[in-house]
Amino acid sequence: MRCADLEPGLAALAAGGSLRQRRVLAGAQGVRVEIDGRAMLSFASNDYLGLAAHPEIAAAACAAAQTYGVGAGASHLLSGHHALHDALETRFAAMVGAPAALLFSTGYMANLGVVTALLGRHDALFADKLNHASLVDAARLSGADHQRYHHNDMADLARRLAASTAPTKLIAVDAVFSMDGDTAPLAELLALAERYDAWLLQDDAHGFGVLSLAERGVTAMPERLLYLATFGKAAGVAGAAVAGSANAVAWLVNRARTYIYTTAQPPLLAAATLKSLDLIAQADDRRAHLRALIAHLQQRLAGLPWRLMPSVTPIQPLLVGDNATAVRLSQALAERGIWLPAIRPPTVPEGTARLRISLSAAHGFDGLDALADALWGLAT
Ligand SMILES: Cc1ncc(COP(=O)(O)O)c(C=O)c1O
């Protein structure tokens, strides 16, 4: 992109209905938010358990800042690896039944780090077509053969694995697909990983805290499984951790460049995440409420001209199709005080623009009714 091409490039994005613009959030993240100075009911965060502004998590962060300051001061391998980071890794590994875990500053960096640590250009990455952008970028950065199989199509994946002569194979998959809300068949993926001697990287950014491992088809933690959770969504904080065998984690410490060549996250975030893990462990009531909200939404939106995509998770996308209609609906909802941005290509495939309704345990049934009434009003 040359300097002179920027203005026409932005104009072309606007003409195609795909210019992205940020809105400014004031106050805390939650379901009742202030956006660009207006009070809105939001269906647009990944704060699935409603923990992002939880007072106990905020208190844990403040207490850690008072005691340890803010900056980590160095990368983990220099002098930045704090006891709080270490405690979080140990706690997270125990929680997901793995021998060890490694903390990264973001999920994006974790995916880049894991994939590039395990694969080189003679190797192969097998990826679901709907995987998150960070896994796509990880594949590109590794230089490995990037085999993208049809969404959740195990026969396609098996064919590709059987045909591959790559010395190291890695299957990477979103456990819950971020823009569709459906889940990957993890037991089948694991069986294929066993059969073809491949790693399985399970990116559970949207399932961690919301679904249990057993609910997704994995009950034990085999050595070839790497389980990744992010802490910026249901956990309500920031960062990510990868759980696996002690050897796998030791390898990542030595080879994951996004772990090695960056300043460690502020220890206060690890303190906040430790508190969040306590709350997640006790959040059965929040998860039950979420399930009730999902059922209520599905019942209220049945029969609309736009259909809800099949999903048992708090991600309930309403498929609209073309960009212009998705943007028009989103704007009309905003005029009614409802914040539900349109998701358009390239985030989702062409012709599948949607309103990604994201539910939180902090929503009430009245909020869902307000959304449903507004959508029905726009449909008629
Ligand atoms: C499936 C998936 N993986 C990874 C990430 C990146 O995580 P983070 O936001 O912590 O960088 C996201 C979203 O942000 C995601 O949806």
Q: Quick: pLDDT tens for 245-299.
A: 999 999 999 999 999 999 999 999 999 999 999 999 999 999 999 999 999 999 9
pLDDT the model gives residue 18: 74
Q: Sheet of 307-308: strands edge to edge?
A: 307-308, 315-321, 353-358, 342-343
The residue whose CA has the least distance to atom 8 of ligand 1 is 107
Pocket test for ligand 1, best of 46, 108, 211, 313 (most atoms within 8 A of CB): 108
pLDDT at 218 over 80: no
Q: Select from 3.90.1170.50, 3.40.640.10, 1.10.10.10, 3.30.565.60 the CATH code of 55-281.
A: 3.40.640.10
Distance CA 60, CA 297 (A): 34
Pocket test for ligand 1, best of 46, 178, 208 (most atoms within 8 A of CB): 178
Instruction: Look at domain 19-49+284-379 and name its CATH class.
Output: alpha beta
On the question of a cis peptide bond just before residue 267, with omega within 30 degrees of 0, the verdict is no
Ligand 1 centre to CA of 258 (Å) is 15
Q: Which residue has 């805290």 as its token pair? A: 209
Ligand 1 centre to CA of 107 (Å) is 5
Ligand 1 centre to CA of 230 (Å) is 7
Ligand 1 centre to CA of 108 (Å) is 6
Q: Which atom of ligand 1 is nearest to the CA of 239?
A: 10
Pocket of ligand 1, beta carbon within 6 A: 106-108, 111, 132, 134, 174, 178, 203, 205-206, 230, 232, 240
pLDDT the model gives residue 21: 87
Please write the tens of the pLDDT for every residue from 138-183. 999 999 999 999 999 999 999 999 999 999 999 999 999 999 999 9
Ligand 1 centre to CA of 284 (Å) is 24
Q: How confident is the model at residue 215 (pLDDT cuts 50, 70, 90)?
A: low
Q: How confident is the model at residue 214 (pLDDT cuts 50, 70, 90)?
A: low
Domain regions of the chain by residue span: 19-49+284-379, 55-281
Cα R_g (the chain), whole angstroms: 21
**pTM given for the model:** 0.95
Ligand 1 centre to CA of 173 (Å) is 12
Q: Which atom of ligand 1 is nearest to the CA of 111?
A: 4
